[in-house]
Amino acid sequence: MIHPLLRQPTYRLIDQSSLGAAFQAEQSFATDDTLCASTKHQGAVLRAWVHLNTVVLGIQDARLPHLRDGIRLLHEHGYRPVVRNSGGLAVVLDEDVLNLSLILPENDGIQIDSGYEAMTSLIQNMFKDVTDKIVPGEIVGSYCPGSFDLSIDGKKFAGISQRRVRGGVAVQIYLSVRKSGSARAALIRDFYDRAIQGEATRFTYPAIIPETMASLEDLLHIPLTVEDVLRRAYDVLGETSRLVPATLDTDEQATLIVQLDRMWQRNEPIRDIEHQLLEE
């Protein structure tokens, strides 16, 4: 059964999954805020996005006692850090991680759990032909753990977050489609080890066990690509809603400039650290 929130009259489809290295994560978070502000008048959106070799940090991650050393480690592995404007902790993005943003108008009010449940329903329906084992629930030992981690047989392949801005709700999910989910987890484990160095912290960061995470391809035992998974999302939403390929309109593009400036400002401390590391 598909969740009622997914039954929108129309979805604008914004596919940013193949824009390459020039498309940076700051642009994605600014875009979702822009679409939240316009969805009340423009209708629901499904946005797909992929970023190459990026580690998205949460607000608490930006307060780690040895953040500079942690960022140095990420650079050593070829990853770029970005601090997001939504909740959660560090996650890994690369060419085999598909992110989906389900952006819905909050006309009648959407409870926080309802947003998570709608995204869970979408993913479960996307793969109902191959498994009925996708379940929500925190996977201890994973990175960015939460009540709506998605897993199969106890191994996490996805995490969900939410962002609410001016009448709209963006429910965001990352899906580890291919390659090693445990290798991604090992990177974040090593990042925390380097950025904490055994010091006491007010916030409790996860003790990551890489084996708790895997990719969909490994868990389902079928070949998958980002394009395959996105097509499955379109097929599910197309059963109950009209799908319209779209781009940001003129007003949204103007709003995006403002939102992007906010993201650049949020990430100025991170860029300062990176510049210092380059000068060493």
Closest C-alpha among 139, 146, 83 to residue 113: 146
Q: What single-letter DSSP state applies at residue 265?
A: H
- The burial class, CB within 10 Å (0-12 / 13-18 / 19+), for 171 is buried
The 3-state DSSP composition of the chain as helix, strand, coil percent (nearest 5) reads 40, 20, 35
Half-sphere exposure of 271 (CA within 13 A, CB side): 7
Closest C-alpha among 101, 113, 112, 124 to residue 1: 124
Residue of 36, 37, 67, 144 marked catalytic: 144
* 144 is a catalytic site residue: yes
Written as six digits, the tokens of 23 are 């498309």
User: Exposed e or buried b for every residue in 110-137, given b needs 16+ CB within 10 A?
Assistant: beeebbbbbbbbbbbbbbeeeeeebebe
User: What's the rounded Cα separation, in Å, for the pair 215 and 213?
Assistant: 7
Q: Which residues are catalytic?
A: 144
